[in-house]
Each structure stands twice: as C-alpha cells, then as structure tokens.
Amino acid sequence: MSAAGMLIPSRDRSDRRQQRMDTLRDALRDSDPGVRTAVARALERLESRSDVAHLVALLRDEDKLTRLNAIYGLGAIADPDGLPALVAALSDPVEDIRAAAVRTLGELHVASTLDPIVARLDDESPLVRRHAIEALGRFGDRRVAPVLRSLLVESELEIVREALRALGACRDPEAEDDLLRHLRHHDAGVRSAAADALGLID
C-alpha cells in the first residue's frame, strides 16, 4: 500500500479526536490530583486546536463580518497553528480584512511574522499601512528601524506620526537625528510623536 493510502481520512481523525477527548473528560475524575491537572491541560490543548481549525475554516466565508470575527478569534486564542491563516489574510482583497490581520499579528508579535508585516508597508491602503507600522512598533525590533525611518518623508502625516511612534518603541539611537529634525515639523502631532520617541531611545 502506498504512503498516501495509509493516511488517516480527516473524518476518521476527527472521530478519533472526539473519542480521545471523551476519554480524557472521564479521566478528570481520577483520584490523583496530578493526573487530573495533566488531563485538564491535554483537554485545553485539544479544544484549542479544534477552535483554531473552526476559525481558519470561517476565514473562507464570503461574509466579511464572519471573517473579521474569525481573525479576532484567532488573535484571542493566540495558538501558533492559526498564524499561517492570519498571514494569508494579509493578502486578502478586502482592505478591512488585511487591516484586521496585520493588527492582530502585531498584537501577537511572533518573530516569524515580521517579514510579512513589513511587506504590508507597500499596501495600497493607508489604513493597512498605518496598522502595519503600529504592528512593527509592537515588536520593538531595531532591525526594522531603517524601514521606519524611510517612511518619515511620506506626505500623509498620520503615516509619519505612526512611524515616529514605532521608532520610539524600537528604541534605536540611530534614529535620533531624524527624531530631532521632526521636532521642527510644521505639524504639532508630528512634533509630539517625535518628542515622545526621543524620550524612549537609549
């Protein structure tokens, strides 16, 4: 028999997982408290994986609100199994979906998602770009500071403000000259963001 023929059908896997969970629930009555604790941990992991699979499936729904709720749900669960679906949502044709995905990934700030978030800095949507900059700031990673500094020449002031805030979160001393220059900007919001950032860098 080929290896492909030996694979367990997804329905059988689902049935076996359900049987496993039922058996574990019965084991919650074990006389040993250490066993009960281990059983509770196992159930939590299994239930979390089941929830993630359900939410990932909902991301294929045609209804935008359903997909948005799925993204927020994956962010709340914060299971690594949900990350590929969130990264894929960064390329969704709907602006709100991309914005929600990049914001959620920023809140999770998992290192493997840094490059996909940086790629959203070229998004056609200013909203997505702002969320991407904010997300990068949550990482606090100085490696993205040169990219953030390149955004300080943008014509959209909110992009500049977000880039300054993110630079402050990165605490990169090499950004000092750029921050000092923006203390003389004509926009008060930009000047405030520059001042805040200057107070954070090392």
pLDDT tens across 53-75, in order?
Answer: 888 888 988 999 999 989 998 88
Query: Encoding tokens for residue 121?
Result: 């800095």
Arithmetic mean of pLDDT over the chain: 85
DSSP state of 78: T
Give the pLDDT band of residue 24 (cuts 50, 70, 90).
Answer: confident
Query: pLDDT exceeding 90 applies to what percent of the chain?
Result: 50
The model's pLDDT over 77-130, given as tens digits with 9 standing for 90+, comes to 888 889 999 999 999 999 999 999 999 999 998 999 999 999 999 999 999 999
- Which amino acid is residue 164, in one-letter code? L
Q: How many CA atoms lie within 13 A of 109 on its CB side?
A: 11
Compute how many other C-beta atoms are within 10 angstroms of the C-beta atom of residue 95.
14
Distances (CA, A) of 68 to 55, 190, 199: 10, 31, 36
**Closest C-alpha among 54, 106, 60, 41 to residue 81:** 54
Say what the pTM is: 0.71
Amino acid (1-letter code) at residue 21? M
- Distance between CA 46 and CA 100 in Å, rounded? 26
197/181 Cα distance (integer angstroms): 12
Contacts of range 19-22, beta carbons closer than 8 Å, 24 or more positions apart: 20/46, 21/46, 21/47
Query: 139 exposed, middle or buried (CB, 10 Å; 0-12, 13-18, 19+)?
Result: buried
Whether the Cβ atoms of residue 88 and residue 118 lie closer than 8 Å to each other: no
18: which DSSP letter? H
